Amino acid sequence: MIQYYQIENKRIPIMSYLSFDDPHRLTRGDFARIGFAAKWGPSDTLPFAAGFLADFEEKHCYDRYWDPHGPASLMNTRYLFCGVAFAMIAKHEDARTDLVASFRHQFFQIGLIANFHKGALLNLSNRFSIAVERLRVGDYESVRDFKRNVREALELFLRFNHRYWFHEISNQVLAADLYGRWTHQLGSDSLYSEVREEAQDINQYLDAERTRKASDNAMRLTVVSACGMVGTVVTGFLGMNLFSHADLPSWNKFWIFMLIFVPTMILGLYTVVVSKRIATFFEALSSERLSWREQFMAFRQIFRPPPAKRRGRKRVAGGDEPTRRNAGQVPRKVAGNSRP
């Protein structure tokens, strides 16, 4: 079974090849209807407002082989680009017989590449959006899933960037011009810049998160080392042989060792747990602007756990739970009774 999901509007990209006995008899309204794949109408009317079609020939027509003022020049081929629609108009009795073959084997492949670029970029942007939408900073599982999904999306974007994204596909002038006009009409260049900025922003967020964790670990190690210095001084004092335990039985030595080891281990673990509060106290103690009372309050907060935060469901666009999901990801089932 092929899984798919809609990332754009329901209009499917279309390509059409039309040949006429005399294409020069087509009016401006006919060209606009063919190019935009609009609803039919009288030839002497326009499918849209005149102001909207003021620059129609400049933006949507490629007239390299089209001369409306000289039919005898054999310039009877016109290309129309209007977003998802592409049309090639030619003369039926044209002396060139390879126009249909060029359309099927060359222009069709150019259209596939151009639309593939846009579809791939939309898919990558959708992946980044879904990953950010599902992120819950206070939930460990959500953060882990976010990192995994973002890592996969960044890997896909890197592969797409180096293997499938290019600005030129041919050294032929006609093919290069058609591809450039086509991608411009689809907006692939601006979409690529947006996706690249999204990838850079998420990568910077992950780098900042890794830096924050590294600094937190360094802070905890610093606090543990500072608190362990007291134990080092005590054990060094006991190592001055003020008490002779060399002649005691082995079991007595073992219990003396455990008597020192267990409290030291508990103190070390407790220090790691309250390391942030101890670091806050050290910062307050080293500050010359705080009074003794404020420093004493900072000392008291070491033994007071922070108030518990009320955890609620984060609301997102469209409700509490996101309805979109990544391509290929099986939705998780929620246990409970379902109402009809």
Task: Give residue-wise pLDDT tens across range 313-328.
Answer: 544 444 444 444 444 4
Whether pLDDT at 248 is above 80: no
Query: What's residue 80's pLDDT?
Result: 93
Query: What's residue 205's pLDDT?
Result: 85
Query: What's residue 317's pLDDT?
Result: 42
Mean pLDDT of 128-152: 84
Query: What's residue 240's pLDDT?
Result: 62
pLDDT tens, residue by residue, 60-80? 999 888 888 776 777 888 999
DSSP string, 64-104: TTB-TT-GGGT-B-EEEEETTEEEEEEETT-S---HHHHII
* Amino acid, single-letter form, for residue 286: S
Whether pLDDT at 112 is above 70: yes
pLDDT tens, residue by residue, 22-41? 888 899 999 999 989 888 88
Whether pLDDT at 336 is above 60: no
Query: What's residue 321's pLDDT?
Result: 45
Residue % of the chain over a pLDDT of 70: 81
Residue 208 pLDDT grade (very low, low, confident, very high; cuts 50, 70, 90): confident
CB-count exposure of residue 86 (10 Å: 0-12, 13-18, 19+): buried
Q: Among 50-64, 166-180, 263-277, 303-317, which stretch is predicted with the lowest mean pLDDT?
A: 303-317
Strands 14-20 and 85-91, sheet pairing: parallel
How many Å from the N-terminal Cα to the C-terminal Cα in the chain?
Answer: 28
Q: CA-CA distance, 159 to 93, in Å (whole number)?
A: 46
Mean pLDDT of 88-116: 83
Mean pLDDT of 197-226: 81
Q: Among 99-108, 188-197, 260-269, which stretch is predicted with the lowest mean pLDDT?
A: 260-269
Helix (H, G, I), strand (E, B) or coil at 142: helix
Whether pLDDT at 167 is above 50: yes
With contact defined as beta carbons under 8 Å apart, do 199 and 154 qualify? yes
Whether pLDDT at 115 is above 80: yes
Query: What's residue 337's pLDDT?
Result: 45
Sorted by where each begins, the domain ranges of the chain are 11-97, 101-215, 216-303
Task: Tell me the sheet residues that pair with 15.
Answer: 86
Which string of b and e fits 139-150 if b means at least 16 CB within 10 Å?
Answer: eeeeeebbeebb
Query: What's residue 311's pLDDT?
Result: 55
Instruction: Pick the closest to residue 192 from 149, 228, 161 (CA basis).
Output: 161
Query: What's residue 330's pLDDT?
Result: 45
